[in-house]
Amino acid sequence: MSRKSAFPSLLVTADNLVAQGAFAESQAAVLDPDPESVRQLHQLLEQSGAGIVAHYYMAPELQGVLLGSDWPHVHISDSLLMADKAVEMARNGAKALVVLGVDFMSENVRALLDAAGFADVPVLRAAESSIGCSLAEAAETPAYLSYLDQAARTPRSVHVVYINTSLSTKAEAQARLATLTCTSSNVVSMVLQCFAQLPEGHVWFGPDTYMGQNLAHLLVSLADLGDSAVRAVHPEFDAAAVRSALERFHYFEAGNCIVHHLFGDDVVSHVNQDYGDALITAHLEVPGAMFKLGLEAQRQGRGVVGSTSDILKFVDTCVMGAIRSKAPRRLKVILGTEVGLVTSLVHQIRARLRSSPLLDLSVEIVFPVASEAIALTGTEELPVLPGVSSGEGCSLEGGCATCPYMKMNHLDALLAVLSTFTKSGQRHLAGYAPKRYEDSLQGNSRVNLGTAPILAMRHFSKTKRLPDELVARAGFRVGEN
């Protein structure tokens, strides 16, 4: 195989950013926030009393300004924590919540605010048009409803649905069978707990096909490590029990995220060939080859497979370890998820490096996307487009690992929404509210049905057990196991 050009990267030191490749240069140009934009945002937040919850995959310019703000009601995280923080902000007096993400995230925030008694606190999006998600839309197809019907016909079944789905999907599932949501952070422990509390039961996971495949592979690998390794993950299991559970683990086979889909075999081959000394990070949504690469690196102590939060924590741990060693060093990190995470990564790494200014330590963040896969437009409005300049789309040398839906949230849109809310409240922002579900399913409110799986996950997060009502609905006596 011929040697390929290097992936674009950002070299982070305590005081500087060095970009290699057009894509990295486009990121580096906006990581340090414009002071005037920070001032303008803070002024609007102060006047409106609003809070902001944003996903890690926002555009770097927008994230940079958010991180530059000292307003108490601003938070950037993964989708689960966004909703939790929104409720916390409402409790602390936020007069409205602006959600910077895709539509299922604003729906989740709306549902949890309502459940927590804050139905009077407005929730606003950053766009009047729909902000979609390929993965969430995969769960709204006839194929997924058929998958749910199959699960409902199978005795002793529970449905574990990825939180990255619409409230309507959660309601359709809950109307059919016992359902609880999961995140990429808790899905492994949740699936194992389902099997622990529902002996001989079936677990139906969806809609993310790659995550389902990766979970199955992870369980096989865990069983192969033996009883002690299994019990370290869940004390009620041994290797034989995991293998038995695998026969009753099902996943949907027609759903994926268009961004994580791009971390395919060619990217993995390039990483193996030219980045053998790098730390490997891989989101649970990536295809199997990238997942296996990350999992093997994790077992060797030089990688992580998990959520965006897991990736941030892993990199931080590695940087702290390098600081403690006090040896001159350059860490190299393969960023195996949407590139928006780079803003929080750089912010976190710089804070650590600045705590040890005399240490010759740097961190290179490597984007598994070839420079050839990015086209520079030369305009201020849209400086970078996914796809090569010839218009052929993403090159085979790397994916265009940036979500076009997430990038519908931008700084100008946020400032406009806050400005309108400051002047006239909700009156002119009806189109910016999350979708309202007024209908019912089987005589139950779609909103209440859709909220129930989220609340079931909240119960699991607090107790590490499934709720009694979910266990009973799945066909088991409460306390059976």
Whole-angstrom distance, CA of residue 141 vs CA of residue 129: 21
Whole-angstrom distance, CA of residue 319 vs CA of residue 314: 9
Let me know: does 278 contact 333? Beta carbons within 8 Å. Answer: yes
Are residues 155 and 213 both part of a single domain? yes
Structure tokens at 93: 């007096």
Let me know: does 95 contact 123? Beta carbons within 8 Å. Answer: no
Question: Residue 184 falls within a domain, yes or no?
Answer: yes
Let me know: does 368 contact 270? Beta carbons within 8 Å. Answer: yes
Question: How many CB atoms within 10 Å of residue 171?
Answer: 26
Are residues 330 and 308 both part of a single domain? yes
Q: What is the pLDDT of residues 315-365, one digit of tens each?
A: 999 999 999 988 888 999 999 888 888 899 999 999 999 988 778 899 999
Spell out, as residue ranges, where the chain has pLDDT lower than 70: 1-5, 258-264, 369-402, 479-481
Q: What is the pLDDT of residue 258?
A: 63
Q: What is the pLDDT of residue 1?
A: 33
Are residues 315 and 398 both part of a single domain? yes
Which range of residues forms the domain containing residue 243?
135-256+438-473
Counting the structural domains of the chain, the total is 3
β-strand pairing of 202-206 with 9-12: unpaired
Are residues 379 and 469 both part of a single domain? no
Q: What is the pLDDT of residue 244?
A: 93
Q: What is the pLDDT of residue 255?
A: 80
Are residues 169 and 109 both part of a single domain? no
Are residues 96 and 143 both part of a single domain? no
Are residues 283 and 345 both part of a single domain? yes
Q: What is the pLDDT of residue 369?
A: 65
> Which residues, at least 6 apart from 31, have a Cβ–Cβ distance to it below 8 Å?
17, 60, 64, 342, 343, 346
Coil, helix or strand at residue 16: coil
Question: Residue 396 falls within a domain, yes or no?
Answer: yes
Between CA 25 and CA 32, with CA 31 as vertex, the angle to 5 degrees is 120
Question: Residue 65 falls within a domain, yes or no?
Answer: yes
Dihedral sign, Cα of residue 236, residue 241, residue 243, residue 244: negative
Q: What is the pLDDT of residue 376?
A: 47
DSSP string, 118-176: -TTS-EE-S-SS----HHHHHTTSHHHHHHHHHHHHSSSEEEEEESSS-HHHHHHHHHH
Question: Residue 451 falls within a domain, yes or no?
Answer: yes
Whole-angstrom distance, CA of residue 95 vs CA of residue 121: 6
